[in-house]
Amino acid sequence: MSPIPGSERITSLDTIRGFAVLGILTMNVVSYGLGEGAYFNINASSPQSWLDWFIGGFGEIFFDQKFMGLFSVLFGAGIVLFADRAAARGRRAALLSLWRNFLLLLIGVAHAALWDGDILIVYAVCSPLLIAMRNLPVRLLFVLGAVAMIVPCIGAALLQPTIDADGQGLGEYWGVAGAMSDAVGLWFISDFLFRALGMMLIGVGAWRSGFLTGEKPDRTYLRSARWGLGLGLPLSAAGFGFVALNDFGPGVALIGTIPNTIATAPIVFGYVSLISLWHGRTSDRPFNGRIRAVGRMALTNYLTQTILGIAILRGLFDPTDLSRSLVALFMVGVWGLQLWWSQAWLSRHRYGPAEWAWRVATYRRLPG
């Protein structure tokens, strides 16, 4: 029950997690303030200026799916890290991991009651499979992860021809009138599930290979950043351009996601590489310490992002009063708060509030 000693903490992982939890807000904040349709369809939010369009397009290319993917990679790595450390201490690693993720499911259910964009439920549901597969060969984990990522792409290609020109059946997914059809709803859920599972499996492989711990030579991360971003970003930009040229019409609502989904894994590896290189050069700098503190309190910060977003953007404003530039300004303010309070809290306490509660429930006793 004692905290992980500083000598055992993998500080590069804390740094990556810090960037991930800040980065995931870039897209979630759109849902908080502008609604579900605006999250997937820039036209659904009726942007008022060129700045709103730029922010929307920039987010689609550089952030959409990528930071959820990065979060998923870290979750997969966290499953392995927790199980390995539990086994090293003589505990029944699989049972303890299952219990821990059942608790995460309960946290996710409570979070989903506040905001229906919760991802913790998906992670908890996938965790038994990850626990069972955590010791598979690294190459097989990567292959299985890639296959899982392709599944929603195939579904989108098969389902798109069934969508009427007026978008009936897309519902809130695309911000059109009417309810979401059962087929689109099933694809929507499977898209989140398979993308998350795929990146989790890739994360387990990346952890097993040592890529996530920052122990690879700089030339490996430089090569990964070059190839990952060099391939992924043009593909993501092409996908956004294709949807934009079709005026975000219902005819491209589903197939328009395919380039972005395929681009996610290369871009995530590119981001991990850049963060690892940056961490290696700045690990003793104050700003890096603040990013690491955000990462150590990732669950607390993820939940408080939602609480602040729902309370302020939905509680004080009507969606028609907001634009992407205004919600981006709110996002920057939340970043500033979390960079400040995470370090301030951890300078006085061993865990973040949510992390402490999760840990106590996991071990069913107070820390010693």
pLDDT digits (tens, 9 = 90+) for 191-205: 999 999 999 999 999
Give me the pLDDT at residue 167, please: 87
Mean pLDDT, residues 261-272: 96
The answer to whether the CB of 170 falls within 8 A of the CB of 184 is yes
Query: What pLDDT does residue 3 have?
Result: 45
The verdict on residue 333 lying in a domain is yes
Look at residue 251 and tell me if it is in a domain. Answer: yes
pLDDT digits (tens, 9 = 90+) for 53-95: 899 999 999 999 999 999 999 999 999 999 988 888 878 888 9
Residue 49: name the closest of 323, 240, 310 by CA. 323
pLDDT bracket for residue 49 (50, 70, 90): confident
Residue 2 located in a structural domain:
no
How many whole angstroms separate alpha carbon 235 and alpha carbon 241?
A: 10
Whether residue 26 lies inside any domain: the answer is yes
pLDDT at residue 177 in the model = 77
Question: Is the per-residue pLDDT at 168 higher than 90?
Answer: no
* pLDDT at residue 299 greater than cutoff 90: yes
Residue 267: pLDDT band (50, 70, 90) is very high
Neighbour-count burial of 94, counting CB atoms closer than 10 A to its CB (0-12 exposed, 13-18 middle, 19+ buried): middle
> Would the pLDDT of 2 be above 50?
no
Which residue type is seen at 262?
Answer: I
275, 213 Cβ separation under 8 angstroms = no
* Residue 4 placed within a domain: no
359-366: average pLDDT: 89
Specify the pLDDT at position 139: 95
**pLDDT of 99 strictly over 70:** yes
Kindly state whether residue 3 falls inside one of the protein's structural domains: no
Q: Could you tell me the residue range of the domain that residue 316 belongs to? A: 11-363
State yes or no: pLDDT of 6 exceeds 50.
Answer: no
On the question of pLDDT at 5 being above 60, the answer is no
Q: pLDDT band at residue 47, thresholds of 50, 70 and 90?
A: low
| Predicted pLDDT at 342 | 97
**For residue 308, is it within any domain?**
yes
Band of residue 172 on the pLDDT scale cut at 50, 70, 90: confident
163 falls within a domain: yes
Question: Worst-scoring range by mean pLDDT, 101-105, 172-176, 274-278?
Answer: 172-176
* pLDDT level of residue 7 (50, 70, 90 thresholds): very low
Average pLDDT, the chain: 91
Q: CA-CA distance, 127 to 101, in Å (whole number)?
A: 7
Q: Which residues touch 181 (CB under 8 Å, ≥6 apart)?
A: 168, 169, 170, 171
**Residue 6 CA: distances (Å) to CA of 9, 319, 350, 357:** 5, 45, 11, 21
- Whether the per-residue pLDDT at 8 is higher than 80: the answer is no
| Token output for 58 | 């920039």
Query: For 148-158, how does the pLDDT look when each residue is reduced to its tens digit (9 = 90+)?
Result: 999 999 999 99
Residue 29 has pLDDT above 50, yes or no: yes
- Domain count of the chain? 1
The fraction of the chain above a pLDDT of 70, given in percent, is 96
